[in-house]
Amino acid sequence: MSTKLYCDSHIGATALAIYQFGLTPPFVEMLDVSNPLKPALVCRLTPAYGAHFLSDTKLAFWVDDQLGTADLGSGAITQTARLAGRAGTGAFSSDGSKFAYRVFDESGAMSTHLYVNGSDRTLYTQEPLGGHGGPIGRPLDQLEFSADGSELLDFYEFRPMSGPAKFLVYRTSDTFLAFQSSSAGGGVWSRTETALYFSVWNPQPPAPSGELDSLDAGGRQQMVARFANGIAWPRLTPDDAGIIYDTYDAGGQPHIWRFDLATHTATQLSEATGSIPVFVNPNVIWFDEEQPCRCGPGGSSAPDGVTLSHDMSTGRDATVDTTLIVPGIGGPALPQTSTRYLLDVWLAPF
């Protein structure tokens, strides 16, 4: 493989994150987020379209139609498989044994595939779709395996009239379609069992609204809670006890909240205007700061490139110093920092 690994710092941090850059060639970085207010560069893997932690010293990654592993300690790169097509977006199961990905052709058609143990199966192919915008407040493309790899969540916002549905759940053993919905949005798997939590979204005026639903291993859907102003970007807490998410105030501005799965109570975590929360250690989340704007159909606020940190134990917000993430890289201007580009986080046992 042509991919190279460059490591500049000490391996063995207590918390690591993978950050993606969609430049040419594309690459990913491993960041030491042990100090969540000042992340530091550990390694850079290039070219690479995406990656996933197998351990604190080993990654699975993909580039074009190749899968591989990278050892952060030795620097060894190993090609592990060749895919049936070039992976535009993709996701690994937790142990790296399964890989789901999308292939886009020049006409705009897209196919979604599941690779397992040398078998590359096409789940479906959808016809080309014309130009379009996108909804605000939820992911547009999500492939994510359950904790045990037995099921795959496939959410894709842009579907032709011929289908399939936007939100699909497959059983990976035989690619059986276990669940589908055209009204569900982004979802998140439980870390300890085969349970999926997902938002059901109603974007119609005067304000977005919706609910949080769950799907158990038997494919049974159940409403967990209603949210008058909608729920977006749900993420499980590291202990599986709650869900953090962003929702909208009366003025249409997003804020970060937490929903307790035991008591069914919701609490606003931060007064800051922000979206897309991600845990970077068991007690700290990062999220994108947003500023009010006349955004037209895009909403009433937009990210400003600042990453904010919220400490769950103290309740305090702080600005994250992201200047060390991309040291010494010249060329074209980099896209503004956003938590949407955090692909994976490795948390030491706690």
> How does residue 30 score in pLDDT terms, banded at 50, 70 and 90?
very high
Calpha distance 240→77 (Å, rounded): 34
Q: What is the per-residue pLDDT across 244-278, written as a single tens digit (0 to 9) for each?
A: 999 888 788 899 999 999 999 999 999 999 999 99
State the pLDDT at residue 61.
Answer: 97
Average pLDDT of the residues in 161-185? 92
pLDDT for 350: 47
* pLDDT tens figures, 70-94: 998 889 999 999 999 999 999 999 9
- How large is the average pLDDT for residues 171-183? 93
Structure tokens at 332: 């074209």
118 vs 171: CA distance, rounded Å: 18
* Cβ contacts of 339 within 8 Å, gap of 6 or more: 276, 277, 278, 286, 287, 288, 307
Residue listed under structure tokens 């090609």: 79
Which of 103, 138, 123 lies closest to 245 in space, CA to CA? 138
User: What separation in angstroms does the CA of 28 have from each of 47, 60, 233?
Assistant: 8, 12, 22
Over residues 26-41, the mean pLDDT reads: 92
Angle 213-238-282 from CA coordinates, rounded to 5°: 140
Q: Tokens 């982004």: give the residue.
A: 186
C-alpha to C-alpha distance for 260 and 312, rounded to whole angstroms: 13
23 vs 262: which has the higher pLDDT:
262
| Torsion from C-alpha of 287, 292, 294, 295, nearest 10 degrees | 0
CB 30 within 8 A of CB 72: yes
Q: How confident is the model at residue 348 (pLDDT cuts 50, 70, 90)?
A: low
Return the exposure string of 272-309: e unless at least 16 CB atoms fall within 10 Å of the residue's CB, then b.
bbbbbbbbbbeebbbbbbbeeeeeeeebbbbbeebbbb
Q: Give kind and range of the element (H or E) at residue 116.
A: strand 110-116
Q: Write down all domains in the chain, each with its CATH number in brackets.
A: 1-78+336-350 (no CATH), 79-335 (2.130.10.120)
Q: What tokens does 144 get?
A: 């994510």
Q: How far apart are CA 23 and CA 42, in angstroms?
A: 19
- Of the ranges 102-111, 258-267, 299-308, which is most confident? 258-267
**The pLDDT value given to residue 211:** 87
φ, ψ dihedrals at 321, nearest 5°: -85, 105
Q: Which of 150-164, 207-221, 240-254 has the lowest mean pLDDT?
A: 207-221
Q: Considering the chain, what percentage of its residues have pLDDT values greater than 70? A: 89
Mean pLDDT score, 49-69: 95
Mean pLDDT score, 276-304 = 86
Q: Residue 50 and residue 44: Cα distance in Å, rounded? A: 12
Say what percent of the chain tops pLDDT 90: 62
The verdict on pTM exceeding 0.85 is yes
| Confidence band for 218, pLDDT divided at 50, 70 and 90 | confident
CA separation for the pair 180, 184 (Å, rounded): 9
Task: Give every CB contact of residue 209 below 8 A, 6+ residues apart in sequence.
Answer: 202, 226, 227, 228, 229, 230
Average pLDDT over residues 310-320: 96
